[in-house]
Chain A
Amino acid sequence: MAKVLMKGNEAIGEAAIRAGCLNYFGYPITPQSEIAEYLSRRMPEVNGMFLQAESEVAASYMIFGASAAGERVFTTSSSPGISLMSEAISYCAAAQCPAVFVNIMRGGPGLGGILPSQGDYFQATKGGGHGDYHLLVMAPNSVQEAVEMVMKAFPLAEKYRNPVIILGDGLIGQMMEPVEFPDHLVSTPSDKSSWATSGMATRKSTQRNLVRSLFLVGNSLEDNNRCLKAKYDQMKKEEIQCADYNIDTDYEALIVSYGTMSRVCRTAIDILKKEGIEVGMIRPQTLFPYPDAIVQKAAWKPSCRVVTSMELSMGQMVEDVERVVQGRRPVTWFGIAGGIVPAPEEIVDEMKRVLHAHQS
């Protein structure tokens, strides 16, 4: 299929449809409202379902209800809206309901701003809602990758019966880039008859199904949480996605960065290379599961003197970088969280400063 020029937000909406998800519940919030606008006109064309809910809280429970009934569903929002959805996300995780959430991040905390940010790393990877659960978290750095991740998200959510969240930022949503919708990422919904409340007649069964998250009796809560834990362990084995840049050189420093920030870093690495300074980059595409071993191996390369986590936040992913580097290299953080995406030159200057401070 020929490439088309699309805004990230619209491409995300179209990707879900191409992936076979024809049900969307949502609530407007900048900078992702174009997703709802796009789907409000596009869903009727494909006999799909679009509903604007009265709040993010309601939208997320519509997702829970529809998912529990066995249908593919998704919703999109931005940071403050994801906070409101986090309750339902916890319920979906507990009740093992697959659903796809997209967070086009804006600056926070509070009302924050509407410009790009990566301030929801903790929220997405470490919890967000209450209780012992994880989301499978994917972070695209281009419109094309956002499309592919959305399309992959549905079968992954079904494979693990767990919510998947795409962590984009305002720039990914607002930017236009050429995209194509790969046919090989089209997937068929999985068989949900063993658990979904689809109506006994639908699955030709006399056994009812229950979707619940309350476990009062005996060890049932412990058992459920162990079941969830086993899924997260399996994700760590099977679902890690990661990219790298300039990693075959004897780089003096390693950048770890994801999403929009990683693109700025890529340009900075090119500039540094021209000046004779080699810097490598690891770009996690899944933030949970985190590419522990890959980051560690790259950080421990003998030529590498220092590892820097580059973020559009006040230092969130750096905690994972520190965790996996295990003190074997100094780990620094550089970030901007006021809605400004830094120029590559700022990254160049920071890497020079860091390398100067950590002489061999």
Chain B
Amino acid sequence: MARVFQKPKSMTSAHTHYCPGCTHGIVHRLIAETIDELGIQDRTVGIAPVGCAVLAYHYFDCDFQEAAHGRAPAMATGIKRVRPDLLVFTYQGDGDLASIGMGEIIHAANRGEKFTAIFVNNTVYGMTGGQMAPTTMPNQKTTTSPAGRDVTNCGMPIKIAELISALQTPAYVTRQTVIKPKYIIKAKKAIRKAFEYQMAGTCFSLVEIVSTCPTNWGKTPLESIKWTETDLLPYYQLGDCKTPDA
């Protein structure tokens, strides 16, 4: 019988620790499939963040480093500058990249470091228990904004893809989601494009992926998908924000 579906070679057989309805697993798989397709497993180095994906290296079968909170882009810079031949990606959440690590991501992008940042935006700090992030929506309730995010007090949610796109250095910056098959296909293409730009030495690339966190949102997986579509996507609009040739 023909095998029509299997685990990507670049994934281990470990079971993930992610909650039901969380989209980290899908994003992991898309990255692993891309690594397989491009045949780069043996020269890829991933960098795990601090956040829910801190243990991502249990699931990817390639070299991995574990960063301090927010510092993955600096570590990726370190690797690429001394080993430009390696394929390097950071895997970061919104607390990690958009808050404590804002300085590192902006400057890495602005220098045009030739690595790929996979930025999973689920609008909360997941691992620490659902605290407010810079990406938390107006009036969204979190454990540190129990009455909902007050934008007069905390400002509006940061649109990272647009922010990075404002830099003058050429880059590939896109926003995707993985809440439905039609989005997953596009997200996969975007991740592949980002890696291809890196392999060609073209530019820095950042793929923001609007994701779900049913546990900390207090929603079922289905409600989470629905809320993403009705509330997140109108604000975090999908599509390419910047391409290196534009």
Contacts and interface: CB of A to CB of B under 8 A. Distances in A.
B30 interface: no
29 contacts: A23-B82, A25-B78, A25-B81, A49-B81, A53-B74, A53-B77, A54-B104, A55-B103, A57-B104, A60-B74, A61-B67, A61-B78, A62-B74, A64-B74, A64-B78, A65-B47, A66-B78, A69-B82, A71-B83, A95-B66, A197-B63, A198-B83, A199-B85, A200-B42, A202-B43, A211-B66, A212-B65, A212-B66, A214-B55
A53 B107 CA distance: 8
B74 A61 contact: yes
Interface string A208-220: 1111111000000
Contact of A61 (B54, B71, B85, B86): B71
Interface in B70-103: 71, 74-79, 81-83, 85-86, 103
A351 interface: no
Contacts, number: 128
B45 interface: yes
B45 A197 contact: yes
Contacts of A54: 103-104, 107
B171 interface: no
A201 B75 CA distance: 20
A88 B68 contact: yes
B41 A200 contact: yes
Which interface residue of A57, A202, A208, A210 has the most chain B CB atoms within 10 A? A208
A51 B85 CA distance: 18
A87 interface: yes
Given A65-B79, A200-B42, A202-B43, A58 B71 contact: yes
Interface in A29-82: 49, 51, 53-55, 57-71, 73
A258 interface: no
Nearest to B60: A208
10 cross-chain pairs, A with B, having the tightest CB-CB distances, nearest first: A65-B78, A65-B75, A61-B74, A62-B78, A66-B78, A197-B63, A201-B42, A54-B107, A212-B66, A200-B42
B61 interface: yes
Contacts of A49: 81-82
A200 B69 CA distance: 26
Interface of A: 23, 25, 49, 51, 53-55, 57-71, 73, 87-88, 91, 95, 197-202, 206, 208-214
B76 A65 contact: yes
Which interface residue of B43, B45, B63 has the most chain A CB atoms within 10 A? B63
B104 A200 contact: no
B63 A198 contact: yes
Nearest to B50: A214
A120 to B, nearest CB: 21
B44 interface: yes
B86 A69 contact: yes
Given A65-B47, A197-B63, A199-B43, A57 B71 contact: yes
A245 B154 CA distance: 62
B57 A212 contact: yes
B65 A58 contact: no
A71 B83 CA distance: 8
Contact of B64 (A62, A87, A208): A208
B77 to A, nearest CB: 5
Contacts of B86: 69, 198-199, 202
Which interface residue of B55, B57, B65, B81 has the most chain A CB atoms within 10 A? B65
Given A65-B74, A88-B71, A199-B86, A209 B63 contact: yes
Nearest to A71: B82
Contact of B83 (A25, A199, A209): A199
Contacts of A201: 42-43
A51 B77 contact: yes
A58 B82 contact: no
Given A61-B75, A64-B71, A65-B76, 10 more contacts: A51-B77, A53-B77, A59-B74, A63-B78, A64-B74, A65-B75, A66-B83, A68-B78, A199-B43, A206-B42
B62 interface: yes
B42 A211 contact: no
B44 A199 contact: yes
A149 B55 CA distance: 38
A35 to B, nearest CB: 18
Given A65-B47, A200-B42, A210 B82 contact: no
Contact of A197 (B65, B71, B103, B104): B65
B109 to A, nearest CB: 11
A71 B42 CA distance: 18
Nearest to B57: A210
A214 B54 contact: yes
A330 B55 CA distance: 54
Contact of B65 (A55, A57, A68, A71): A68
Given A69-B82, A201-B42, A58 B66 contact: no
B66 A210 contact: yes
Nearest to A95: B66
B68 A69 contact: no
B42 A23 contact: no
